[in-house]
Chain A
Amino acid sequence: MTFVPLTESERTSMLATLGLADTEALFDAVPADLRFPAIDIGPPLNEMEATAHVESLAAANRPASGIPFFLGAGAYRHFIPSAVGALMGRSEFSTSYTPYQPEVSQGTLQMSFEFQSLVCDLTGMDVTNASVYDGASAVAEGALMALRLTGRERVVVSAGVHPHYRQALDTYVRPRGVDVYTSQMAVRDGVLQEVGLLEALDEHTACCIVSQPTFFGEVRDVAHAVEAAHRVGALALEVYNPTSLGLLRPPGEWGVDIAAAEGQPLGIPLSFGGPYVGLLSCRRELVRQLPGRLVGMAKDGQGRRGFVLTLQAREQHIRREKATSNICTSQTLISLGVAAYLALLGPAGLREVAESCCRMARFAADRLGKIPGVEVITPRPFFHEFAVRTPLPADAVNRSLLERGIVGGYELGKSYPGLDDALLLCCTELTTRDQVDRLATALENIVG
């Protein structure tokens, strides 16, 4: 289709035909307070001026790489081998147009198949789709699977699941009349404890959603939740941190039915929060209800190995409004980064990364816990994050840290009432002991 610009004379002629004075008059029916507001953004700039302006705005950013950085809470700074970016930058992969035609899409299809296989290896799950948008939508789609599979209308979710994921879950399921029950987190005996999760499971519950590690970093025994869910005929959905699986028992071994995660820690930069990639896996028997693109390995007419989209009748291009989901899509390019990262590191490399993260977080918690007034409230063991309480409000502590050139932690009061004095801190393999020392010294000065 040719792009035809709308000229002033065409505009005038159309308005004359309609008997209107100007374009604004078309929107008279919309109440004024609901209309797009006038925005004062100054006069137009040429490209050189605009570049200079945007550069001056960008200079206000504090890149995570240059300074001590302890923010995690769902988006994690890890080292990314250059080969990841080199592969993602190849022009053959730059379109993620749905590879309906296998005869011209073998590269993209094979890549997705390998991504799926790597995530299955990582999680111990039977099937993984070719990805969804992000961790939050993976959890929400997982819950929708459970609702369809059980025909029930209640979801029980741990308060230890990322608060943003729980918000997305609400958005997805509440309008369908689904009852979402969330457990409570409270500080008891000096540590964060969850109350009212397993007790809430009943015969109306479609699934129990738990996080490993929790949002607060704690590593738990997932088996209790799996058993309790299965006892009432509900499914168990585990939200996991993929890096942690270098060390921790994978979802498949806990016996969960559905596993969901944010894939960003696997080779994807923080980049202001996206685009990221959601990992969604399930047991083999549930595959008919797994939403989204799925690539299978097959043989062509001459017996040669090939890759094709499979079980497509689950999807909206076949089943339309009865599809397993009309609101998901695969993040093909980002999943390529994840596949490249996992393939480059291998199981041993991922374990090294996970160990480094965990070791540095333990070192940091030990160091900070010695500061008078600072309490580590995440129970041990934890993975690479832990929550601390200080005598000052968390936002004040963060501001003081930033003045000293340190990015502090996530202010837990934003998501958990009563935790306004708590920060969630994260260490990865990129965190150095020197940076932890600087954080500890700064905190001593701030709270002392």
Chain B
Amino acid sequence: MSEGTAVPEDRRYTREHEWAISDGDLVIVGITDFAQHELGDVVYVELPKVGARVAAFKEFGVVESVKAASDLFSPVTGEIVVINEELGEHPEWVNESPYARGWMLRVRPDDVQELDQLLDAEAYRQLIGGAEAE
């Protein structure tokens, strides 16, 4: 794993490289530093509408970089309460700040316990360590 790839301890991860963190009643979702690095310059993020339902490990949107388009998978099941509208004007925030300004969704989870079934930072580090070794 490269030195610069950040995997904060405070949140959970999917095998598809999304992160999720509790924020009060809601769960915030985004993609990882590793994912943005692999994608390259992000040029567009296609997000669902507020009020739509998302299901754990199902697609909720698409992130486009100059060289690829990748599906986004929700870490949890629930209802979308807020989307990061600013990514429309600033898709580069996904690269610059994947864990803060580059967040994508705020979801009201049906069952917050779902978070515990996701990878923790250590498990995710191992996952991408394996990916990088390939």
Chain A contacts to B: CB under 8 angstroms? 151, 288, 313, 318-319, 322
A-B Cβ contacts below 8 A, count = 17
* Residues of chain B from 58 to 91 with CB closer than 8 A to chain A in the complex: 62, 64-65, 67-69, 71
Q: Are A288 and B68 in contact (CB under 8 A)?
A: no
Task: Point out the residue from B44, B65, B67, B71 that lies within 8 Å of A288, measured CB to CB.
Answer: B44
Closest chain A residue to B49 by CB distance?
Answer: A151
Known: A313-B64, A322-B62. A288 touches B46 (CB 8 A): yes
Q: Are B69 and A318 in contact (CB under 8 A)?
A: yes
Residues of A within 8 A of B94 (CB): none
Residues of A within 8 A of B69 (CB): 313, 318-319, 322
- Majority DSSP secondary structure for residues of A touching B: helix
Q: Which of B46, B67, B69 is most buried by chain A, counting CB atoms within 10 A of its CB? A: B69
Instruction: Looking at the assembled complex, report how far the CB atom of B80 sits from the nearest CB atom of chain A, in whole angstroms.
Output: 14
- Majority DSSP secondary structure for residues of B touching A: strand
Residues of A within 8 A of B43 (CB): 313
Q: How far is the CA of A319 from the CA of B64 in the complex (A)?
A: 9
Residues of B within 8 A of A318 (CB): 67-69
Instruction: Looking at the assembled complex, report how far the CB atom of B63 sits from the nearest CB atom of chain A, in whole angstroms.
Output: 9
Instruction: Looking at the assembled complex, report how far the CB atom of B83 sits from the nearest CB atom of chain A, in whole angstroms.
Output: 15
Q: Are B71 and A322 in contact (CB under 8 A)?
A: yes
Residues of B within 8 A of A151 (CB): 49
Residues of B within 8 A of A313 (CB): 43-44, 64-65, 68-69
Instruction: Looking at the assembled complex, report how far the CB atom of A341 sits from the nearest CB atom of chain B, in whole angstroms.
Output: 34
Closest chain B residue to A320 by CB distance?
Answer: B69
Instruction: Looking at the assembled complex, report how far the CB atom of B125 sits from the nearest CB atom of chain A, in whole angstroms.
Output: 29
Residues of A within 8 A of B62 (CB): 319, 322
Closest chain B residue to A289 by CB distance?
Answer: B46
Q: How far is the CA of A151 from the CA of B43 in the complex (A)?
A: 23
Return 17 A-B CB contacts under 8 Å, by A number. Answer: A151-B49, A288-B44, A288-B46, A313-B43, A313-B44, A313-B64, A313-B65, A313-B68, A313-B69, A318-B67, A318-B68, A318-B69, A319-B62, A319-B69, A322-B62, A322-B69, A322-B71
The digit string for B44-56, where 1 denotes a CB below 8 A from any CB of A, is 1010010000000
Q: How far is the CA of A18 from the CA of B134 in the complex (A)?
A: 44
Q: How far is the CA of A259 from the CA of B133 in the complex (A)?
A: 50
Instruction: Looking at the assembled complex, report how far the CB atom of B58 sits from the nearest CB atom of chain A, in whole angstroms.
Output: 14
Q: Which of B62, B64, B68 is most buried by chain A, counting CB atoms within 10 A of its CB? A: B64
For the complex of A and B, 8 pairs with smallest distance between CB atoms:
A313-B64, A313-B69, A319-B69, A318-B69, A318-B68, A288-B44, A313-B44, A322-B62
Q: How far is the CA of A197 from the CA of B68 in the complex (A)?
A: 42
Q: How far is the CA of A322 from the CA of B43 in the complex (A)?
A: 17
Q: How far is the CA of A288 from the CA of B64 in the complex (A)?
A: 11
Closest chain B residue to A315 by CB distance?
Answer: B69
Told that A288-B46, A318-B67 touch, could you supply 12 new A-B pairs with CB distance under 8 A? A151-B49, A288-B44, A313-B43, A313-B44, A313-B65, A313-B69, A318-B69, A319-B62, A319-B69, A322-B62, A322-B69, A322-B71
Residues of B within 8 A of A322 (CB): 62, 69, 71
Instruction: Looking at the assembled complex, report how far the CB atom of B109 sits from the nearest CB atom of chain A, in whole angstroms.
Output: 23
